[in-house]
């Protein structure tokens, strides 16, 4: 399945280089369930289109709260402190930050129904390769409310640009 996604990404990049006049750069911010984690997706893409059809390769990062079995923030008489659970001593606050980041790549093919919606399909390549469906509703000329849903992948948020 990954070889199909890589082939689609290479084809999309080739199309993007061949038709720069019809291209648009865009950004996305989504709440997402991906790679087994709830978090936020932040991405950027390059869309190439003709007559309502668009191909959009994009890349981004899933930001989520990971697990840390060694350090924990505990209440210390009204103030929070980071504590090393292996020995009970206080630790630097940065050790209790469980924020994790995972990169991803996507390729989407969509069709825009003027003044109504954009529909399509995509493939997300992260820890696993996931196909998904797309529905986006226009809120303003370059702003859309977008949802992606597929097996073990869900995202909803805003797209600015393409």
Q: Which domain holds residue 112?
A: 2-66+99-160
Asked if the structure places residue 62 within a domain, the reply is yes
Query: Is 48's pLDDT higher than 60?
Result: yes
Query: Is 36's pLDDT higher than 50?
Result: yes
Per DSSP (E only), the strands in the chain are: 23-34, 37-50, 53-65, 71-75, 80-84, 99-113, 117-125, 129-140, 143-150, 153-160
Asked if the structure places residue 135 within a domain, the reply is yes
pTM of the model: 0.73
Asked if the structure places residue 15 within a domain, the reply is yes
Instruction: Decide: 120 and 133 in contact? Cβ < 8 Å.
Output: yes
Tell me the average pLDDT across 8-17. Answer: 55
- Averaged pLDDT score across all residues of the chain: 84
CATH of the domain at 62: 2.40.160
Q: For residue 144, which of 29, 60, 59 has the smallest C-alpha distance?
A: 29
| CA–CA distance, 75 with 51 (Å, rounded to integer) | 59
| CA–CA distance, 17 with 68 (Å, rounded to integer) | 43
- At 105-119, the pLDDT tens digits run 999 999 999 889 999
Asked if the structure places residue 84 within a domain, the reply is no
Asked if the structure places residue 144 within a domain, the reply is yes
Query: Is 22's pLDDT higher than 90?
Result: no
Band the pLDDT of 7: cuts 50, 70, 90: low
Asked if the structure places residue 77 within a domain, the reply is no
How many structural domains compose the chain?
1
| CA–CA distance, 66 with 99 (Å, rounded to integer) | 6
Asked if the structure places residue 58 within a domain, the reply is yes
Band the pLDDT of 6: cuts 50, 70, 90: low
Residues 6+ apart with CB under 8 A from 20: none
Query: Is 19's pLDDT higher than 50?
Result: no
Whose tokens are 């919606």? That residue is 117
Asked if the structure places residue 76 within a domain, the reply is no
Residues 6+ apart with CB under 8 A from 111: 52, 53, 54, 118, 119, 120
């Amino acid at each position: 399945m990954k070889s199909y996604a890589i082939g689609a990404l290479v084809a999309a990049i080739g199309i993007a280089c061949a038709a720069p006049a019809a291209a648009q750069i865009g950004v996305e911010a989504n709440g997402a369930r991906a790679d087994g984690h709830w978090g936020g997706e932040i991405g950027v893409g390059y869309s190439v289109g003709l007559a309502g059809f668009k191909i959009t390769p994009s890349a981004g990062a899933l930001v989520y709260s990971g697990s840390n079995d060694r350090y924990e923030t505990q209440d210390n008489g009204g103030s929070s402190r980071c504590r090393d659970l292996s020995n009970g001593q206080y630790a630097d606050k940065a050790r209790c930050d469980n924020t994790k980041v995972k990169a991803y790549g996507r390729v989407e093919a969509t069709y825009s129904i003027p003044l109504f919606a954009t529909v399509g399909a995509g493939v997300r390549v992260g820890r696993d390769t996931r196909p998904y469906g797309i529905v986006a509703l226009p809120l303003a000329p370059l702003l859309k409310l977008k949802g992606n849903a597929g097996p073990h992948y869900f995202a909803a948020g805003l797209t600015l640009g393409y």
